[in-house]
């Protein structure tokens, strides 16, 4: 298992691109590996024939563990296989994507583990009341919005496999979405005298990304001494700026978050002690503002980085964020595109969250949590007015940032957002 990202500790075999007996050349894509942040291609390290696959699709392996054997067509690999078998017998079993009950074997192009749905939600029996589906097919169906209950699997035992999803995606016309569930179905009275056991459930594998998120958060909130600063900002002028730019340049599609990124970068350059990270024996100060922007994906949170945001225009930032976010959701980011930020921003305002606190992503010194922009009555010059306001909370690493330093940064951040012409006067 190769190291395909800086923070990777193990990889999950998403898909073999070659099968046993295929010829391979050095540098040729051999498999797709799910790392902690993205799906990466693993390349062959030598010429020869793929003699043996040692881990199946959906299984995980730590860095350095053998996952396949490439050799000459007539080469004796029995001693190698025996050595690996002995090591495997002494080591813990590899982590599997699912824990299936015995079932008919899958085709070579599909992972071997079926995904179980809750018995109560499953359609007519495929295998003792359970619907069987391969992990690849499940992922493809979710991405395409295809209802599995409408499909009849063509794999062994009625299992839904990749070709079934591909066929459903090309059907003309596409099946209509299921109608909304009637309210009566959501409030069904309990049957008289009925006895209910524990709810049915299904276990989903923890992705490499989610495992890494869990490990990093444990190493953040405990060891890193957090403190929090909150400020409320009048967003009327920032909203007017965004509206005016989008009217002049409709293709810009500027968002409030793009404006926040640019203002954050300007405030970081004005307060270099905040644009820093703790490095055990030193505090590292960055010359430019590399802003990590939290993006929610199906597998967890990832923070693509807008490099040198202090040097880029609002329109450039908007285009870059859209492009990075799109590739983040498609798991196509390169490692250098989601590591090495000097400061991060997490915005949950689009979900109606007024205020929250973020957990610092080590070794960064701070993260800004952005709430919703909403109309609110405020007192201005002795009068009550309705203004667009927004609350932001900065989580600070006290080893790097003191309270007064963080407060001064937020004062500048608030001043620029409330008077965004500062952005243009400083250029």
DSSP β-ladder status, 23-24 and 48-53:
antiparallel
Site of tokens 């929610």: 296
DSSP β-ladder status, 48-53 and 10-16:
unpaired
Cβ(410)–Cβ(368) below 8 Å: no
**What is the rounded CA–CA span in Å between residue 302 and residue 334?**
12
3-state secondary structure 137-164: HHHHHHHHCCCHHHCCCCCHHHCECHHH
Alpha helices (H) in 22-106, listed in sequence order = 78-90
**Could you tell me which residues come within 8 angstroms of residue 23 by beta carbon, excluding any fewer than 6 positions away?**
48, 49, 50
Cβ(259)–Cβ(321) below 8 Å: no
Could you give the C-alpha distances from 146 to 60, 113, 311, in angstroms and in order?
A: 27, 20, 43
Alpha helices (H) in 54-109, listed in sequence order = 78-90
Out of 226, 285, 288, 398, the active site residue is: 398
Could you give the C-alpha distances from 345 to 201, 214, 239, 341, 391, in angstroms and in order?
A: 35, 19, 19, 10, 13
**What is the rounded CA–CA span in Å between residue 129 and residue 132?**
10
Q: Is 288 a catalytic residue?
A: no
Cβ(253)–Cβ(318) below 8 Å: yes
Alpha helices (H) in 55-150, listed in sequence order = 78-90, 135-144
Determine how many CB atoms are found less than 10 A away from the CB of residue 254. Answer: 21
Q: Which residues are catalytic?
A: 398
């Amino acid at each position: 298992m190769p190291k395909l990202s800086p923070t990777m500790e193990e990889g999950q075999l998403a898909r073999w691109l070659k099968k046993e007996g295929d010829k391979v050349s050095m540098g040729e894509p051999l498999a797709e590996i799910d790392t902690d942040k993205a799906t990466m291609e693993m390349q062959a390290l030598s010429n020869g024939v793929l003699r043996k696959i040692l881990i199946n699709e959906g299984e995980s392996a730590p860095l350095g563990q053998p996952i396949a054997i490439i050799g000459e067509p007539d080469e004796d690999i029995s001693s190698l296989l025996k050595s690996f078998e002995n090591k495997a017998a002494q080591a813990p079993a590899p982590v599997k994507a699912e824990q299936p009950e015995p079932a008919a074997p899958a085709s070579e192009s599909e992972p071997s583990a079926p995904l179980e749905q809750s018995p109560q939600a499953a359609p007519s029996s495929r295998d003792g009341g359970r619907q069987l589906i391969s992990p690849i097919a499940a992922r493809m169906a979710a991405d395409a919005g295809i209802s599995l209950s409408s499909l009849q699997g063509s794999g062994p035992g009625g299992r839904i496999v990749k070709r079934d999803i591909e066929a459903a995606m090309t059907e003309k016309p596409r099946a209509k979405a299921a109608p909304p569930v009637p309210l009566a179905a959501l409030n069904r009275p309990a049957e008289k005298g009925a006895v209910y056991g524990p709810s049915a459930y299904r276990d989903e594998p923890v992705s490499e990304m989610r495992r890494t998120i869990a490990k990093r958060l444990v190493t953040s909130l405990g060891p890193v001494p957090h403190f929090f600063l909150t400020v409320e900002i009048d967003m009327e002028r920032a909203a007017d700026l965004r509206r005016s730019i989008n009217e002049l340049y409709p293709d810009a599609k500027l968002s409030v978050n793009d404006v926040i990124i640019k203002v954050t970068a300007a405030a970081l350059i004005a307060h270099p002690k905040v644009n820093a990270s703790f490095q055990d024996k030193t505090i590292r100060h960055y010359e430019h503002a590399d802003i990590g922007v939290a993006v929610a994906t199906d597998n967890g949170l990832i923070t693509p980085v807008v490099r040198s945001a202090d040097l880029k225009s609002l329109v450039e930032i908007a285009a870059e964020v859209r492009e990075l976010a799109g590739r983040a959701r498609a798991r196509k980011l390169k490692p250098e595109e989601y590591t090495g930020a000097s400061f991060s921003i997490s915005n949950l305002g689009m979900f109606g969250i007024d205020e929250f606190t973020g957990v610092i992503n080590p070794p960064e010194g701070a993260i800004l949590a952005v709430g919703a922009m909403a109309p609110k009555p405020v007192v201005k010059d002795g009068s009550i007015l309705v203004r667009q306001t927004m609350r932001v909370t900065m989580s600070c690493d006290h080893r790097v940032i003191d309270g007064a330093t963080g407060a001064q940064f937020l004062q500048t951040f608030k001043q620029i957002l409330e008077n965004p012409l500062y952005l243009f006067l400083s250029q």
